[in-house]
Structure 1
Amino acid sequence: MQKLTRIITLSVSIAVISGCSYVGVYKRDIPQGNLVTEEMVDQLQPGMTQEQVTYVMGRPLLEAPFDAREWDYVFRLDKAYAGVEQRRVTLTFDNQGRLANIEQEGDFSQDIPLEADSTGGPATDTTDPTEAIPNQPRQNTTPSTTN
């Protein structure tokens, strides 16, 4: 009977421990949208053309579907072990396509640290794509001359 009690206690303990995330699950920061910094917004001046704004800020994430004069730049960072940080810049253009109004939401005073993922990713133009494939035999690419 004592042996059965130990087996049941051990089984219940293992079941409870396996269901708990005591160690935790790996989480990573998830950035979404246009990265908008204070330096970018400081470069904006009323009267700039849409092309000049695109050069400074990039293409907007959202263009109002019924009014092409309003551009929204939205950036959202879902921090893995903290909260969510959101920034939004809404730019309004006049009828001549000149920047008329700049509205900001969020805290632009701090830089957002974004870590580059150095593990994996697509091959760059300067590398041979076959070098990115592990354990693949390399083929001879020189043409053979057979007569």
Structure 2
Amino acid sequence: MQKLTRIVTLSVALLMISGCSYFGVYKRDLPQGNLVTEAMVEQLQPGMSRQQVVDLMGSPLLEAPFDASQWDYVYRLDEAYGGVEQRRVTLTFQGERLAGIEREGNISGDIQLPDDQGAGPSVEGSGPATQPTTPDGGVTTPQGGETSADSL
């Protein structure tokens, strides 16, 4: 009986030492780059200025280093337990005006973005901010040498 107990105990100990790889490793989706949607690309019109494009699409992920006439917006989603989805929109400018739009990947498909409300502790200071108020309801801002209510 003692021999059986030792064998069971040793087996359980070896299983515990083997680590979490027996149960699997936690993975999460890894989004990278500029999120490019079909609605954004449809609003692009040849002749738009660079600033109008930045206002609509955001700053480009890649600008050609030797030729500033090409901007690339790349979005890559590496799904934890699935494949990789990549979208790319290349914008070509002539001078300060948009001249060409090239699409790669399935831009029309919807992407479910991961929410950050998952497991784990919340980051300190990420909750709703409260501002000190005056008796008449106005918001006060700390002046030099004063501390705000949040830092107390």
Matched residue type, 2:55: Y
Say which SS state the counterpart of residue 21 (structure 2) adopts. coil
Q: State the Cα distance separating 1:18 from its structure 2 match.
A: 4.5
Map residues 1-147 of structure 1 onto 2, 5 A cutoff. Answer: 3-4=2-3, 7-8=6-7, 10-12=9-11, 14-16=13-15, 18-19=17-18, 21-94=21-94, 96-118=95-117, 120-121=122-123, 123=125, 127-128=129-130
Q: State the Cα distance separating 1:100 from its structure 2 match.
A: 1.3
Aligned-pair Cα RMSD in Å = 2.9
Matched residue type, 2:73: Y
Q: State the Cα distance separating 1:125 from its structure 2 match.
A: 9.9
Q: Distance in 2 between matches of 1:61 and 1:91?
A: 12
Matched residue type, 1:44: L
Q: State the Cα distance separating 1:102 from its structure 2 match.
A: 1.1
Say which SS state the counterpart of residue 21 (structure 1) adopts. helix
Q: State the Cα distance separating 1:9 from its structure 2 match.
A: 5.5
Q: Distance in 2 between matches of 1:61 and 1:76?
A: 12
Aligned residues: 130
Say which SS state the counterpart of residue 39 (structure 1) adopts. helix
Q: State the Cα distance separating 1:64 from its structure 2 match.
A: 1.0
Q: State the Cα distance separating 1:128 from its structure 2 match.
A: 3.9
Q: State the Cα distance separating 1:69 from its structure 2 match.
A: 0.9
Matched residue type, 1:104: R
Point out where structure 2 has 5 or more consecutive residues left out of the alignment. 132-146
Distance verdict in 2 for CA 1:122–1:104, change over 3 Å = farther
TM-score (norm 2): 0.70
Matched residue type, 2:64: A
Is the contact between residue 29 and residue 114 of structure 2 (CA under 8 Å) also seen in structure 1?
A: no
Q: State the Cα distance separating 1:127 from its structure 2 match.
A: 1.0
Point out where structure 1 has 5 or more consecutive residues left out of the alignment. 130-138, 142-147
1:16-62 Cα deviation digits (max 9, x unpaired): 46526343232221111111001111111111111111111010011
Q: Distance in 1 between matches of 2:76 and 2:67?
A: 24
Matched residue type, 2:46: P
Indicate the residue corresponding to 1:135 in structure 2.
Answer: none
1:51-101 Cα deviation digits (max 9, x unpaired): 11111101001111111111111111111111111111111101x211111
Q: Distance in 2 between matches of 1:22 and 1:111?
A: 34
Say which SS state the counterpart of residue 71 (structure 1) adopts. strand
Distance verdict in 2 for CA 1:140–1:100, change over 3 Å = closer
